[in-house]
Amino acid sequence: MASPDAIQGGCYTARTMQPGATTTEWETLAIVGVGLIGGSLGAAVKQRRLAQRVIGVGRHPERLNEAQRRGLIDETEGDLGRAAARASFLVFCTPVDQIAAQVRLAQAHAQPGTCCTDAGSVKGALCAALADLASGPCVFVGAHPLAGSEKSGFEHANPHLFEERTCVLTPLPEHDPRAVERVEQFWRGVGMRVRRMTPQAHDAALAWTSHVPHVVAAALAAALRDEHRSLTATGFRDTTRIAAGDPQLWTAILLQNAEAVLAALDGVAQELSAFRAAIAHRDAAALNSLLQTAKTHRDALGNGGSGS
């Protein structure tokens, strides 16, 4: 962690919570988009006392007021520019196709020394669009906390959602290293393990581990016939659980990462073809080998995971 006197702009001060553990205390944190992730983030920040006040930013006053009533945020604000002018740190928890424009708007109003990050599932296009904010008075550092569920809305917020999960940071070579350290310390502050990757490597990996699994689950759920619904049990429900995610949100994710998703879908299609061929030829040895490989890979994951 950078020492306090190395930080410009008065973004934060470091304080020791317990022996061997430091955290980051921000004066004012703004969360743009108070849904499952934003609401959980607000709850975690408040529980861990990482900020003196948390502003929830959104377009629906009644929803923000309810999030405030539940104790997830301290204040509500419908104007992003006004919130950015007051905040020393902003986290954008909105759909991936909206984040770049929102960061631009916030940057136009933010005070020098302000840091911005996000929780978006696709990083390549976003980081390229905001590459000029890698240094300067208002720095944006891309991030993706691998935590969440198929549920949406702050009603399902959980202050422990981020604990022991992985957050991927995607800094560019031109990034101010002090700003990257500040953002990394923030995500560590809510209990996450932080890993740094290039935006392109992140998107290629997440196509396999998150985006294509959603497509496959959605395809399986969509193919279910009405007359078979009463016969679904744990296997089908577990396999298709993530297909219950917000369609609008996932449309944006899949289109933002289209090339990597298409490449991963081709790989899955090859595996399905191999299974189909083994079954069609009644080839027990080939089928057993395919299933054994799948079991080995799944067993290696254990019972945990980083979320999606």
Q: pLDDT confidence of 9, banded at 50, 70, 90?
A: very low
**In a domain? residue 254:** yes
What confidence tier does 195 reach under pLDDT thresholds 50, 70, 90?
very high
Query: What does pLDDT average to over the chain?
Result: 90
The pLDDT assigned to 305 comes to 52
pLDDT of residue 4: 28
Residue 214 forms part of a structural domain = yes
Q: Specify which residues 115 forms β-bridges with.
A: 89, 139
**Whole-angstrom distance, CA of residue 100 vs CA of residue 142:** 11
- Residue 107 located in a structural domain: yes
Q: Same domain, yes or no, for 99 and 226?
A: no
Provide the domain count of the chain.
2
User: Does 76 share its domain with 212?
Assistant: no
Residue 84 predicted with pLDDT over 50: yes
How far CA 54 is from CA of 51, 67, 126, 268, 292, in Å, comes to: 7, 11, 25, 43, 49
192 and 207 together in one domain: no
101-153, pLDDT tens digit by residue? Answer: 999 999 999 999 999 999 999 999 999 999 999 988 899 999 999 998 778 89
Return the structure tokens found at 123.
């990083």
CB-neighbour burial class of residue 31 (10 A; exposed 0-12, middle 13-18, buried 19+): buried
Length of the chain (residues): 308
- 256, 126: one domain: no
Q: Looking at the chain, which runs of residues are DSSP E strands?
A: 12-18, 21-32, 51-57, 75-77, 89-92, 114-118, 138-141, 143-145, 166-169, 193-196
pLDDT level of residue 7 (50, 70, 90 thresholds): very low
Q: What is the pLDDT of residue 151?
A: 80
**Maximum distance among all alpha carbons in the chain?**
70
Q: Is 245 within the bounds of a domain?
A: yes
pLDDT tens per residue across span 277-290: 999 999 999 999 99
Between 308 and 147, the more confident residue is 147
Residue 308 lies in a domain: no
Give the residue among 250, 294, 241, 257 at the shortest CA–CA distance from 272: 294
- Adjacency order of strands within the sheet including 143-145: 143-145, 166-169, 193-196
Same domain assignment for residues 71 and 136? yes
Whole-number pLDDT of residue 231: 95
* pLDDT of 21 above 50: no
Both 124 and 55 in one domain: the answer is yes
Domain boundary among 150, 170, 197: 197
CATH number, domain containing residue 139: 3.40.50.720
Predicted local confidence at residue 191, as pLDDT: 96
Q: Does 223 score more than 70 pLDDT?
A: yes
DSSP assignments along 88-157, one per residue: SEEEE-S-TTTHHHHHHHHHHHPPTTEEEEE--S--HHHHHHTGGGSSSSEEEE-EEE----S--SGGG-
Q: What is the pLDDT of residue 166?
A: 97
Q: What is the mean pLDDT of residues 158-170?
A: 97
Here the tokens at position 67 are: 């999030």
**One-letter-per-residue 3-state SS of 76-99:** EECCHHHHHHHCCEEEECCCCCCH
Sign of CA dihedral 267, 269, 272, 278: negative
| pLDDT of 304 | 59
Domain boundary among 197, 220, 237: 197
d(C-alpha 75, C-alpha 55), whole Å: 5
- pLDDT over 70 percentage in the chain: 90
Give domain status of residue 307, yes or no: no
Mean pLDDT of 19-46: 83
Boundary of a domain, candidates 175, 197, 219: 197
Residue 165 counted as domain residue: yes
Question: Residues 152-162: pLDDT tens digits?
Answer: 899 999 999 99
Mark whether 175 and 296 lie in a shared domain: no
For residues 145 and 245, state if they share a domain. no
pLDDT at 66: 96
Query: Alpha-carbon distance 162 to 296, whole Å?
Result: 27
89 and 177: one domain?
A: yes
Residue 5 pLDDT > 80, yes or no?
no
| Residues spanned by the domain of 283 | 202-301
pTM listed for this prediction:
0.87
Q: Domain of 218: which CATH number?
A: 1.10.3660.10
Return the pLDDT at 56.
Answer: 98
Domain presence at residue 306:
no
- Whether residue 85 is found in the same domain as residue 191: yes
Question: Which tokens go with 9?
Answer: 């702009």
Say which residue the tokens 């020394």 belong to: 113
Q: Do 104 and 23 share a structural domain?
A: yes
Please tell me whether residues 190 and 289 are part of one structural domain. no
Q: Which of 69, 206, 191, 78 is nearest to 142 (CA)?
A: 206
Go through 184-216 and write b for each residue having 16 or more CB atoms within 10 A of its CB, e for each that does not.
bbbbbbbbbebeebebeebbbebbbebbbbbbb
